[in-house]
Amino acid sequence: MIKKTLSILAAITIAASIFTGCGKKSDDTASKKYIISTDVTFAPFEFEQDGKYTGIDVDLLAAIAKDQGFDYELKPMDFNGIIPALTSNQIDGAIAGMSITDERKKSVDFSDPYFESGVSMAVGVDNNSIKSLDDLKGKTVAVKKGTAGAKFAEGLKDKYGLNIKYFDNSPNMYQEVANKNSDVLFEDYPVIAYKISLDKDKPTLKIVGDKQDLNSYGFAVNKGKNKELLDKFNAGLKKLKENGEYDKILAKYLK
């Protein structure tokens, strides 16, 4: 009888531990904080202002997280290091004005597109010799590492005999051309347009030629990982577009 009672108690204890374990797993999932990376030198999508990170990407992420009920920590890093950080599972996701390309799709999974962009060419404000791609023969081009602008320049290198100089961030690239150390730069249109609008009282750069290489931005996660985060981003993005919040965020930075 005693053995039977002990067996029953043991079974109850095991069952209780199983249910407790299940409950703990659920709590852990509910309380998970995602580590999401961004490049904070890519205004108006992400930049630092008054000691805080702001911009289109930052505001979109905050609004989507609020709508979908998840917590996250924003981790700034150089753009060129974001995909390696994703593929090594150092971060859960990334929102950094990242163009959706077939090459990147080999390493990461993208959300639905959240912004349509393209590459523009900019020169020093007093440079009147470069007006189109045909004027680029033998010129020195400044680009930011790992960007659509860099890839576009690399595609033109042999055709125009370009000398390409790479930079880790946009501000240094802008200064390079403003100081006439490079002839021209390639940058995403909304980013260079925003930079020029800020400097309208004392301009140093100007956009020339037509917009090239149209592309879309997407939120990224490691390939085959964090599907739940990707689904939440897509659902939240859809909701923001439906309720008008998406347009309000864009209008705040793109005037």
CATH homologous superfamily for the domain 118-215: Periplasmic binding protein-like II (3.40.190.10)
122-to-96, 147, 193, 209, 235 alpha-carbon distances in Å: 21, 15, 9, 8, 36
* C-beta separation of 174 from 195 below 8 A: yes
Q: Please report, in tens digits, the pLDDT of each residue of the chain (255 residues total).
A: 444 444 444 444 444 443 334 433 344 445 689 999 999 999 999 999 999 999 999 999 999 999 999 999 999 999 999 999 999 999 999 999 999 999 999 999 999 999 999 999 999 999 999 999 999 999 999 999 999 999 999 999 999 999 999 999 999 999 999 999 999 999 999 999 999 999 989 999 999 999 998 899 999 999 999 999 999 999 999 999 999 999 999 999 997
The domain spans of the chain are 33-114+218-253, 118-215
Contacts of 164 (CB under 8 A, 6+ apart): 140, 141, 143, 150, 153, 154, 157
CATH C-level class of 33-114+218-253? alpha beta
156 exposed, middle or buried (CB, 10 Å; 0-12, 13-18, 19+)? middle
For residue 61, give the 3-state DSSP assignment. Answer: helix
Beta-bridge partners for 37: 75, 94
- On the question of a common fold for 33-114+218-253 and 118-215, the answer reads yes
